[in-house]
A = this chain, B = another copy of it.
Amino acid sequence: MPAKNVRLILFGAGKSRKKYKANKVILLKDIIESLDNPKIKEIRSLHKKKYRKKFGKYLIEGKRIVAEALEHGAKIDSIIISSDYIGDETYQESVLNSGIRNIELIRVTEKVFLSIAKTESPQGIIAVIHKEEHSLEKSLGKLPKYPYIVTLENLQDPGNMGTIIRTAEAAGVDLILVTKNSTDPYGDKALRSSMGAIFHVPIVEVEGMEWLSLLKINKIQVIATDLSATKTYGELDYRGGINLIIGNEGHGISKNLLDQADEKIIIPIYGNIDSLNASVASGILLYKAREKRGIV
């Protein structure tokens, strides 16, 4: 055993703790104490979109989402654990599983841990995940014959971004495209709102208009919501390959993109109010399309 490593002895979990003594020995590196440690600095930088892009990684914080990442086979780079953390069941299982999968375990002091954490209660555990980056062409190749695609154009609110990704996964969407000027789906708040859906539905970042040409070549019907549309969302045929575009919260879908849409639809408002919340409108639309496409 290298001198720089220490033994971490994990005891049996939860209610049955007393029955066990030690059921697993995992090698962990020394506890990192320096805020300026290069590895810690790199991890901390992942709170910024620029560095998430550069390193192709993002952070998730807290027991629940880390457990989900482990369970659903996300590409985990490393798991950071606070030395102050007194493990409970989920935590220990995470560590055990990560040991099995040869994920790097990084133990840090509470001070270093808090310098990385962004959430209010990070619960002593953070994971670094590799972004699964694919080209649109490759992604399209993996889809069903008549795919259900959603494009988020210039969406600005991270809460909406996460919630719409969550809703899309719930509605059985096959692929999400996110235009480059949108808020980052891998940012802290978007990830929290997505409730783990980010590990399931593939997401491709797109820019320019080439992606639209590619969809058109693949005979995918492009459907846009538009406040001046005369057709309502309930009147449309959503069968076949479709791409629903969801636009910016305040300004809707750009004129450029609207002009290219095969169909424009509106969700009617029956009361004395201007508009629906962006996540709610997306939910109504995504479930209507799912319903009219038939059960997956």
Contacts and interface: CB of A to CB of B under 8 A. Distances in A.
A155 to B, nearest CB: 15
A85 B163 CA distance: 37
Contact of A167 (B193, B197, B277): B277
A95 interface: no
A235 to B, nearest CB: 11
A166 interface: yes
Interface stretch (A8-16, A247-255, A268-276): A268-276
A193 B201 CA distance: 29
Interface string A264-296: 000101111111110111111001001100011
Contacts of A269: 170
A280 B270 CA distance: 18
A287 B267 contact: yes
Most chain B beta carbons < 10 A, residue from A270, A282, A295, A296:
A270
Given A279-B280, A284-B284, A272 B72 contact: yes
Interface in A181-228: 193, 195-197, 200-201
Nearest to A163: B277
A201 B272 CA distance: 9
A240 interface: no
A273 B197 contact: yes
A169 B201 contact: no
A168 B277 CA distance: 11
Nearest to A71: B272
B234 A273 contact: no
Q: Is chain A's binding surface mostly helix, strand, loop or mixed? A: loop
A147 interface: no
A166 B170 CA distance: 23
Interface in A220-246: 234
Nearest to A268: B295
Contacts of A72: 272
A232 to B, nearest CB: 9
A207 B282 CA distance: 33
A200 B296 contact: no
Contact of A290 (B193, B196, B270, B276): B270
Contact of A276 (B167, B172, B173, B291): B167
A192 to B, nearest CB: 12
Interface of A: 72, 163, 166-173, 193, 195-197, 200-201, 234, 267, 269-277, 279-284, 287, 290-291, 295-296
Given A170-B275, A197-B272, A197-B273, 9 more contacts: A168-B271, A170-B273, A171-B271, A195-B273, A195-B275, A200-B272, A270-B296, A279-B280, A280-B282
